[in-house]
A and B are shown apart, each in its own frame.
Chain A
Amino acid sequence: MKNFLRRLRKHSRISYYSFWFLIVFYFVSFFADLLVPYHFDEQFRNKPYHPPTKIHFVDNEGKFHIRPFVYNTSMDDPVFRTYREDYSIRYPVKFFVDGHERKVLFVFKTKKYLFGVDRPAGIFLFGTDTYGRDIFSRLLYGGRISLSISMIGVLISFVLGMITGGFAGYFGGITDQILMRMVEILMVFPSFYLMLSLRAMFPLNLSSIQVYFLIVLILSLIGWAGLARIIRGMVLSIKEEDYVLAARSLGLSHWKILVFHILPNTFSYTITAITISVPGYIIGESALSLLGLGIQEPYPSWGNILSSTVGNLKVIGDAPWLLLAGAFIFIILINFNILGDALRNVLDPKNW
């Protein structure tokens, strides 16, 4: 691992930072419970489409305060949803404030939030949505769903692709024929419609946890086919390599040769393919959620945060912070692409 990081850093500084950025981002999403100021479901009904809260150091009289503070706001114009700050009371930003009770990491019950301000003021780093829910909190929570869906989905399709591609390529013959025809059937359908029809096979009123696993399943069932095909091709060429013959001459079984020699030699490609396909899963989830078939309200995912803006240009104009989910997707996407590109070189011993 240490060597890996050193090599990654040597290869390119930017991929090194991408790697750490993604690690940090995954951690942040995973521990979203501990980092948010509000529960994703908590509504400020009198503050819909609230713009990002201004955090002040200097008060109205020009006096400087070390502890940052916010002012309470009230709606100025219900049509255009403009807010005015009320300068009479300062609400300093506090750490470990009490709020609604919730479960952290699905286990611990707590009322504490990492930071916040006393009510009725609110601290909305990225503004609020139509129900007055804090977008920042929802984005972190949504990241947990979107990122874990993509990670689990990718792992499942990776394993499926490795197994089918490996078997088809190595054993050839009838195994190859059957598996590859299966893959082709899957690839014939446009993936988006396949995704929709797979989703349509299941009832709409599923619990959110069922929907979660359903989406993982759908995405990975669609994703493995292309991977399997490419791995099969690589296995076909690698199995003719001399070191495979050498491994057989040492008395290794076909199974061991496939698992320890042939598949690892496809890794430099597959790992790159994986990192590059992760964004596809995030987008796939977003697309399903966007159509209302994915994660259901009130649970947040990047897709359904984005979907709340669909068909409502005025909202996009008035509350552009709702599009931040798109920005998050974009950032994750770009980092995965940079990392994937670097990994191909870094994981290949020939480049060490």
Chain B
Amino acid sequence: MEQVLEIKNLCVVRTDGVKFFPVLNDIELSIYRGEMFCLVGESGSGKTTLALSIMRLLPKSFRILSGKIILCKKEITDTNENILRRLRGNLVSIIFQDPGAYLDPLFNVDKHLQESFHGKQEEFHELKIKTLKEVGLEPEILSSYPHQLSGGQQQRVLIAMALINNPSVIIADEPTTALDVLTTRQIIRLLDRIRAKYNPGMLFITHDLNLALDTGTRIGIMYRGYMVEVFRPQEGKPLHPYTRILMGYSDEKSSDILSNETPQHDRKTEKCVFFERCPEKEEAICARKIGFTWRNETTGIRCIKHERNSQV
């Protein structure tokens, strides 16, 4: 399996010029060619920040403190804008959440595809028709402007734009949030078909765990800027208490934990970030410093108890 994206110990902070607020802590992630990696987490857990870090498109107030982002064996953590520009769209592309807002109202579909395309002009005409067909759009749509398209069509246009250079990594940042249930299914199926056919590594970001369980080959769970678990839904149950609560393996009472107000987490201590809510916590063990541990090549967990268990 070819690794197309690797993230090691990534720490990202937001800063107001004086203080630092950690947004991503010690993120570990690797994506292989041809897989659908689903990233699940509640709002504010840092999913979109992670996606933007991979694109190196973080807003000015965000800063990568440490860690490495390796895209197709090239490290892009501190590469400059000129080199990044060539990578974006070519090696990695992103599909955004609210398709209407991410299309320029003055550009028709043809122009959008035109500027997404990085290859030779002679190939463009053939390719744009092919790509449109691939995402299930008619060529007639080329002359339409974004506001003339439906939400589903807009999202398909964005997918076509992401697909046209056949990148190694496609990031889909909650691409279905703004769409209805049926359209969501169509879009998911479309993404899955593209993955099967073009074989990119796909990072699918969603807050819908069920959707992730249905479509993902691997699932990463994020909690408050930490990657708490990476597991394969086909291979047995996950181990982290947070994942287990999300998936309903725990009893009724522990699900309440998540519905209640998020408790304050003291960042100065080295306690596990889920400590305050964890139903399985043991003061003595969980207060120690922990990191993300890979159990094997593709799955891992951030929990002292289970880290120990799995080693046994």
CA distance A247 to B145 in the complex (A): 16
Which residues of A from 206 to 250 have beta carbons under 8 Å from B?
Answer: 241-243, 245-250
Given A242-B96, A243-B101, A349-B106, also A250-B115 (CB < 8 A) = yes
A260 within 8 A of B: yes
Check if A245 sits within 8 Å of B89, measured CB to CB: no
CA distance A260 to B105 in the complex (A): 12
Interface SS, A side:
helix
Check if B105 sits within 8 Å of A249, measured CB to CB: no
Cβ contact of A349, chosen from B57, B101, B116, B145, cutoff 8 A:
B145
Cβ contact of B88, chosen from A251, A264, A349, cutoff 8 A:
A251
Check if B94 sits within 8 Å of A249, measured CB to CB: yes
Q: What number of B residues sit within 8 Å (CB to CB) of A?
A: 29
- The smallest C-beta distance from B23 to any residue of chain A, in angstroms, reads 17
CA distance A291 to B87 in the complex (A): 61
Residues of A close to B161: CB separation below 8 A: 250
CA distance A265 to B145 in the complex (A): 14
Check if A251 sits within 8 Å of B104, measured CB to CB: no
- The smallest C-beta distance from B48 to any residue of chain A, in angstroms, reads 11
How many A-B contacts if CB must be within 8 Å?
65
The residue of chain A having its C-beta at the shortest distance from the C-beta of B82 within the complex is A253
Q: What number of A residues sit within 8 Å (CB to CB) of B?
A: 22
Check if B103 sits within 8 Å of A243, measured CB to CB: yes
Residues of A close to B118: CB separation below 8 A: 251
B8 within 8 A of A: no
- The smallest C-beta distance from B232 to any residue of chain A, in angstroms, reads 29
The residue of chain B having its C-beta at the shortest distance from the C-beta of A172 within the complex is B60
A2 within 8 A of B: no
CA distance A261 to B146 in the complex (A): 14
Residues of B close to A256: CB separation below 8 A: 115
Which residues of A from 177 to 193 have beta carbons under 8 Å from B?
Answer: none
The residue of chain A having its C-beta at the shortest distance from the C-beta of B171 within the complex is A249
Check if B147 sits within 8 Å of A250, measured CB to CB: no
B166 within 8 A of A: no
Contact sample, A vs B, 23 pairs, CB 8 Å cutoff = A242-B96, A242-B98, A242-B102, A243-B105, A246-B102, A246-B103, A246-B158, A248-B57, A249-B88, A249-B93, A249-B94, A250-B116, A251-B85, A251-B87, A251-B89, A251-B90, A253-B85, A254-B81, A261-B106, A264-B106, A265-B104, A267-B106, A352-B148
Chain A residues with a Cβ under 8 A of chain B: 241-243, 245-254, 256, 260-261, 264-265, 267, 349-350, 352
Beyond A242-B101, A246-B103, A251-B85, 14 additional pairs, beta carbon < 8 A: A242-B98, A243-B105, A246-B104, A246-B158, A249-B93, A254-B81, A260-B115, A264-B106, A265-B104, A265-B106, A349-B106, A349-B145, A350-B147, A352-B145
